[in-house]
Each structure stands twice: as C-alpha cells, then as structure tokens.
Amino acid sequence: MTVVLYTLMIIFILLLLWILMLSPRKNGPSIKDMQPFDYAHRGLFNENDGIDENSMEAFRKATEKGFGSELDLHLTKDGKVVVMHDESLKRTAGVDINISDCTLEEIRKHRLKYTGEIIPTFEDVLSLVAGRVPLIIELKTVKGNYAELTKATLEVLKEYKGKYAIESFDPRVVYWLKNNRPDIIRGQLAENFSLQKGTVNPVLGFFLKNLLTSFLTKPDFISYRVEDRNSLSLRASKAIYGVNLAYWTVRDRELVRKLKKNGALIIFEYPNQRIKKK
C-alpha cells in the first residue's frame, strides 16, 4: 500500500510540475487587433507566377490584398537585418553562402531566383507595409546571436507604428523580450521535433515540443505547426491557461475557417503556391 501511495504522490507531483511549466504570460499586450487578419507565409509568394518567398513583391501582393505577412529575419556579419528564411542563400538565390558570414553589401550582390530582386532588408519591408496590415516577425538565430538579432530588430522597429508580434523557435529570444521589452507581443514557435530529425538537440526539442520553457519565457502566444496541433501540452495549455494560439502553415481553406473560429492566428499558404517537384 505504501508503494502505491508513493507512486501516486510522485505522479501527482510530476503532473503538477508539468502544468506549472506550461504557464504563459497573463495580462500581456492584447493580440485582438491582429486576430481579424490572415498571415501570408513569407509573404504572398507564388513560385508558379515567379514570385519569391520573402520578396518585396510577395509582401506587396499580401498587403494589397489585405493580408498580414509572416516574415523571417537574419543578422548579417555587419549587424544588418535582412529578410530570408534560410541561413544559406543556396535554395533561394542559388549561391552557397551563409548570411551571418557576409556583410549586407555582399548579400545584396545576389538576386532572388524568380523575381531577380535583391534580398530585402527589414527596413525595406517595413517601408512597404507602412502599418497597413500587421506582421508576424520570426527571428532566426544562428551561432548564439539571439540578443544581437533581437536588439537589431527592435532598433529597426523603433519608429514603426504598425501592429506586429515577434516569435522564434529559440526560447532565448522570447526570454530576452520578457526581460527587456515586455511591451511587445512575443510568441514561442514549436512543433513535434521528433518528426523533424536533426533540426534541434533532442533534449531541447522535447522541451519545446511540450512547451516546457513557457514558465520561464512567459509567451503571449504559442505558434505551433498545424499538423502537430493535437499535442497534449498544447491542448492542456489552451484548456488550463487559455493561451493564444497561432498555426503554421495552413494550406486548407476550410481548416483556416475552422481554426479562426477559435481565435487562432493563421499563417497560410495557398495550395498551388509552390512548384511541384517531378
């Protein structure tokens, strides 16, 4: 009987710890003004129409159609913030160099493969959008540059009047925002990392997948891969704490409508945006 009692006590304590570790921020800045919008993933790009992801043309089209945009930021060697998903330019510009190893001048010698545009800076995109629609800004950290990237991003945003939220897979970004800029809407990106082998350290992947950094970083929303939305920790965080949710990348229009009914932010792609590999 004693063994059973101890076992139950341990289970109860572990369950309580799990619940406490899921806790997001309470009474943070409201995402209400961002909820009416759908967010075009990397802008409203369309490879079939020759429009690159994270290009000025993609953000122009999204803004003109009344969509917000989700965009990705990297830091150059000389501390400039550029808009690009990958650290390497190989996939999007056809040259195998890393952004963090190059200056902005070196980066801008290379062109996006469909439009032939130069790679935009964050300032370029903000000037284009000009507060007309909200933005979901993902910070892509490399080599431990989370503080430098976050500071540089906020410096660019200093005079910007539009609505935005900042998110990252790197919990250090979210933690930095908690301690230094609590006025900004902050989000933790996550997915089932066990299905994406090699993307992160397995231990960190377990913690992020199960939202176990939330008690430290206190995110205002969780941005979760839509295919993994049945995560027990995600569902518990919503049920217990009412955490705000964002889902990426949603490609089914009916699913967009369904998830929006529950107040989630939706990062979408149209089904025909990417060229199908033969």
Is position 74 annotated as part of the catalytic site?
no
Candidate list 19, 60, 77, 85, residue with the active-site label? 85
Q: How far is CA 135 from CA 11, 90, 132, 189, 267, in A?
A: 42, 26, 10, 15, 11
Is the CB of residue 108 less than 8 Å from the CB of residue 83?
no
Candidate list 22, 31, 40, 41, residue with the active-site label? 41
Q: Facing residues of 138 across strands?
A: 72, 167
Is position 41 annotated as part of the catalytic site?
yes
Show the tokens assigned to 126.
Answer: 């903000």
For 81, other C-beta atoms within 10 Å of its C-beta total 22
φ/ψ bin of 76: left (φ > 0), alpha (ψ from -120 to 50), beta (otherwise): beta
Is the CB of residue 234 less than 8 Å from the CB of residue 4?
no
Catalytic residues: 41, 85
